[in-house]
Structure 1
Amino acid sequence: MKTTRDDLAEYRRRHVPLYNGNRLKLGLFAMNCSNGMIISKAATSQRIEWDYQLGLAQKADALGMEVFLPVARWQGSGGEIDYMGTNYETHTYAAAMAASTSNIMTFATVHAPIIHPIVAAKMATTIDHISGGRFGMNVVMGWLTPEFAMFGLAQRDHEARYDYGSEWMDIIDRLWTESEPFDHVGTFHRLTAAQSKPKPIQPRPVVFNAGSSPTGARWAARHADFNFTSFGTVEDAQAYSTSIRATAREEFGRELGVLTFAVVICRDTEAEAQAVLDGILDDADWVAAENWMSTLGLESHSFDAHMFGEMKRKFIAGAGAARIVGTPEQVVEQLKDISDAGMDGVMLGFLNWQEELDYFGERVMPLLKEAGLRG
Structure 2
Amino acid sequence: MTHPLRIGIWALVHGNRAALRDPKEPYDASWRRNRGLVLEAEALGYDCVLVAQHTMNPHRTDLGQLEAWTASAALAAETRRIEIIAAIKPMLYHPVVLAKMALQIEEISGGRFAINLVNAWNRKEIEDAGLTFREHDERYAYGAEWLSLVEWLMRGEEVHHEGRFFQVRDYVLRPTSSNRPRPRIYIGGESPPARDLAAAQADIWFINGQPLENVQALIADVRARPRQGEPVRFGLSTFVIARETEKEAEAEYRRLLDLAAEDTDIKAYVKANTDPAVAMWKTQAKYESVGTNGGTSAGTVGSYQQVAERLMQFHAAGIDTLLTQFQPFEREMRRFAEHVMPRLAHLRTR
TM-score of the two chains, using structure 2 as the length reference:
0.88
Which residue number in structure 2 is paired with residue 233 of structure 1?
A: 211
Structure 1 segment 274-285 matched on structure 2, within 5 A? 274-284=250-260, 285=263
Partner of 1:329: 305
Q: CA 1:261–1:293 in structure 2 vs 1: closer, same or farther (change >3 Å)?
A: farther
State the partner residue of 1:362: 338
- Tell me, yes or no, if structure 1 residue 91 matches structure 2 residue 69: yes
Deviations along 1:140-192, one digit per CA (max 9) or x if unpaired, are 11121100012211211222211111211121122123454x43221111223
Structure 2 CA distance for partners of 1:131 and 1:24, relative to 1, 3 Å: same
Query: Of 316, 321, 329, which aligns to 1:345?
Result: 321
Tell me: CA distance 1:210–1:354, structure 2 relative to 1, closer, same or farther (3 Å). same
Distance 1:153 1:85 in 2: 22
Give the counterpart letter for 1:268 in structure 2.
Answer: E
Q: How does 1:160-309 map to 2 (within 5 A)?
A: 160-178=138-156, 180=158, 182-201=159-178, 202-247=180-225, 250-284=226-260, 285-293=263-271, 295=274, 297=276
Give, as a single letter, the amino acid of the residue that structure 2 aligns with 1:42. Answer: D
CA RMSD of aligned residues (A): 2.7
Counterpart for residue 42 of structure 1? 22
Structure 2 match to 1:16: none
Q: Partner of 1:25 in structure 2?
A: 6
Which of the numbers 270, 291, 305 marks the counterpart of 1:317? 291
Q: CA offsets per residue over residues 271-308 of structure 1, 9 Å max, x none?
A: 32222211112122133234435626289xx99xxx96
Which residue in 1 is equivalent to 2:128? 150
Judge conservation of contact 1:77–1:84 (CA < 8 Å) in 2.
no
Q: State the shift of 1:264 in Å.
A: 0.9
Secondary structure of the equivalent of 1:141? coil
Q: Is the 1:228–1:258 contact (alpha carbons within 8 Å) kept by the matching residues of 2?
A: yes
**Contact map agreement 2:235 2:320 (CA 8 A) in 1:** yes
Secondary structure class of the residue paired with 1:366: helix
Determine the C-alpha separation between the residues in 2 that align with 1:287 and 1:368. Answer: 38
Report how many aligned residue pairs link the two structures. 340
Residues of 1 paired with 2:132 and 2:64: CA distance?
Answer: 24
2:173 aligned counterpart, secondary structure:
coil
**293 and 257 in structure 1: CA distance in 2 versus 1, 3 angstrom threshold:** farther
| Worse-superposed segment, 24-33 or 285-294 | 285-294
Post-superposition shift, 1:323? 4.7
- Give the letter aligned to residue 337 of structure 1: Q
Q: How is 1:4-15 mapped onto 2 (pairs within 5 angstroms)?
A: none
Q: Contact between 2:234 and 2:321, CA under 8 Å: does it hold in 1?
A: yes
Take 1:187 and 1:373, find their aligned partners in 2: how far apart are those partners?
51
Q: CA deviation at 1:52?
A: 2.1
CA distance in 2: counterparts of 1:91 and 1:355, whole angstroms: 26
> Displacement of 1:66 after TM fit?
1.9
- Bigger CA drift: 22-31 or 133-142? 22-31
Asked if the contact 1:39–1:289 (Cα under 8 Å) also holds between the matched residues in 2, the reply is no
Q: Which amino acid aligns with 1:174?
A: W
Counterpart amino acid of 2:21? K
> Is the counterpart of residue 118 in structure 1 residue 96 in structure 2?
yes
Q: Which structure 1 residue ranges, 5 or more long, are not aligned?
A: 1-18
What is the identity, as a one-letter code, of the residue corresponding to 1:128?
A: E
Deviation, structure 1 residue 350: 0.6
Structure 2: gaps of 5 or more residues: none
2:46 aligns to what SS in structure 1?
A: coil
Q: SS state of the match for residue 301, structure 2? A: strand
CA change 1:319–1:161 in 2 (3 A) is closer
Cα distance in 2 between the residues matched to 1:65 and 1:48: 20
Partner Cα distance (2:152, 2:253) in 1: 47
Query: 2:126, 2:133 within 8 Å by CA — same for their partners in 1?
Result: yes
**Cα distance in 2, alignment partners of residues 290 and 271 from structure 1:** 32
Shift in alpha-carbon separation, 1:239–1:373, aligned structure 2, 3 A:
farther
Please point out which of 32, 39, 43 is paired with 1:58: 39
Identity of aligned residues (%): 31
Shift of 1:63: 2.8
Confirm or deny: 8 A CA contact 2:10 2:51 kept in the other structure. yes
SS, match of residue 319 in structure 2: coil
Bigger shift: residues 204-213 or 226-235: 226-235
Partner letter of residue 227 of structure 1? W
